[in-house]
Amino acid sequence: MSIRDVLRIRRGRQAAQLAALVVLAISAAKADRLDTISYNFQVDSGGGGASALWNQIAPLEIYCNDFNNDIWVPAQNYSATLSDITPTTLGATRFGQLNAADFHKVAFTDADSDNDADVINNADAYARYEMAAYLVSQYDFPGQGDPYNSGIQLAIWEILDPTAYGTPNQFAPGVDPSAALEMAADWYSSFGTSDTGRQTYLADYRIVSDTTMVCAKLSSGACDPDAPLQGGFQEQITRVPEPAASLSLAFGLIGFFAARRRTRQSTAR
């Protein structure tokens, strides 16, 4: 075996090791800082979306799903966590522990004869987060504060409206969320009893929650399982890059460093 072959094998091993390290770093990194930058999507009913940075690097667009708390824009160094929208990953979210009976019932103002209202009213927190995230995906960005977008925001608030809270329509008394509520219920029902399609659609959606939230206490001092977590900033829903994008970034970095190494070796020779 020639020296050139040995060097080629060694470079291949180094590239593989670098790939493993980069992929490991991406998968193991725990994002825990949220900096809000500016409002980028405002609706007439209040709420909407804002631009933010995750760990001072990754840009995010965040959208309000929690009408009873505040988040300041701009502001730095919120302590935050990202939760997948799956049945087993909602423990760090504000409403994740609630059952269907712990939410206010929604009502449509139209004369719809189907059971869309029942779909929402019989849904637990997991299903409601799914519907809320779907509605986030349906915002019409050019419209900003038009009735369509305002209806979506109010519908998200009504879907995630615990009985321990006030009523979200106090913030938007002139907005009708019926069309958006029906849209969310129809989307949820379109997958039947299987959640695979819904999880696939929402694979890159996350819930942004404050890590400082605490449980509401009963008179006995125990946590109230039927109340949302208290304190912290206003919870948001966001969309993050797909894992494939992270892998592309990793291998792009590998190629960059490998090219630099080859340049240096050629210069040295």
Q: What digits encode the pLDDT tens for the residues 208-243?
A: 999 999 999 999 999 999 999 999 999 999 999 755
The residue ranking higher by pLDDT, 246 or 124, is: 124
Cβ neighbours of 252 (radius 10 Å):
11
Q: What pLDDT digit, counting tens, does each position of 68-89 carry?
A: 999 999 999 999 999 999 999 9
The residue ranking higher by pLDDT, 78 or 31, is: 78
pLDDT for the residue numbered 248? 44
Q: What is the mean pLDDT of residues 57-70?
A: 96
pLDDT for the residue numbered 155? 97
Q: What pLDDT digit, counting tens, does each position of 141-175 carry?
A: 999 999 999 999 999 999 999 999 988 988 788 89
What residues pair up with 41 in beta bridges, in sequence order?
49
Which candidate, 94, 101, 117, places its Cα nearest to that of 177?
117
254 pLDDT exceeds 60? no
pLDDT for the residue numbered 134? 98
Cβ neighbours of 76 (radius 10 Å):
12
Structure tokens given for 109: 């103002």
